[in-house]
Structure 1
């Protein structure tokens, strides 16, 4: 409908009609609670199936790796722990007993045998260095009784004079014959030495690990 207003000073024409409300623009139609529930119910099983599939793939990879590992030859490394009897010292593959008493070379060796050992056989400079310093003089398992000048260990092997350290000027066969060996540790007299077998000194016994 149209309404006209008249005035003496101005003419006003205004058109009045029925008001119609139009929908405002928005992101789109709102999804109802039923629609949201339907979508959630659809996505949850899909996620579970996806997770289960990934677990199956991972399990397959682990099974293959396990079969490959079992098919390779297995190298087993075993370490054996050795201990020495109480009062003995350990170096490399041997145990050593250093006596506190003093006896002849033969008596010292007899004591070692009673301990399931023998007078020490020194195989290297490292072993000699380890045994040096415990006492000023100690019998070791070497002798030249069989042939003068040919030193032999108690295990039958020949003493390598070039490989080991001898005290200065030794062996010298002094005092009418020195047929047994000892290990000396003195200020200016360090190394292997020949000495009279009947003299009294301390001694060093040795037991290999396989003898324990």
Structure 2
């Protein structure tokens, strides 16, 4: 809007108007600050996340080390073995004598060793025992009833499951009531023999 004043001597013009305020120009680095602040915020979030991951990793490492340091089982595994001079097969220990005694004396020797004359359960065990001596007493007898062979633990000998020497048992001379195991060129397997004969013997005990 314009207003005019008139005086007598001279004309005086005064113009009054409305003025619009113009925004001041921003500093040159203002745009840079606007773009930098979001980047800084983003970087801070990344750093914070990385720090949390490091802390979690440290906790996991400590937990893993503690878990590995604890015993896996409270029950210790027992290592079983045979006495010195005994041989191991499956779950048993075997002693092969170097002396010769009767069947009864051989049985007594095994008992004194906390063992028994060997009881042969299967062909695999018999194959293992074959070859150590030409003849050795084993823990079977048919003293109580001729032809019915009994192991020293009271169980019946299953003759068909074991290998007998050719033509045995034959109860030769009417007095072969004790069993031994033979390993000879033409005579391999179980055999009945006179109990008073002096033979080597085989003791057996469970793994200790």
Q: 1:167 aligns with which of 155, 165, 168?
A: 165
Shift of 1:203: 0.2
1:194 pairs with 2:192: yes
Q: 2:141 aligns with which of 133, 143, 161?
A: 143
- Name the CA shift for 1:33/1:111 in 2 (closer, same or farther; >3 Å): farther
**4+ residue stretches of structure 1 with deviation over 3 A?**
29-44, 52-59, 75-80
Give the secondary structure class of the aligned counterpart of 1:150.
coil
- Name the CA shift for 1:174/1:50 in 2 (closer, same or farther; >3 Å): same
Give unmatched runs, 5+ long, in structure 1: 1-28, 63-74
1:51 pairs with 2:44: no
- Partner in structure 1 of residue 19 of structure 2: none
- Name the CA shift for 1:160/1:113 in 2 (closer, same or farther; >3 Å): same
Give unmatched runs, 5+ long, in structure 2: 1-27, 61-72
Give the secondary structure class of the aligned counterpart of 1:199.
coil
Could you give the per-residue CA deviations for residues 22-58 of structure 1, whole angstroms, max 9, x where no partner exists?
A: xxxxxxx999998998677544422122335657898
- Partner in structure 1 of residue 78 of structure 2: 80
CA distance in 2, matches of 1:47, 1:166: 84
Give the alignment's TM-score, normalised by structure 2.
0.70
Count of residue pairs brought into register by the alignment: 169
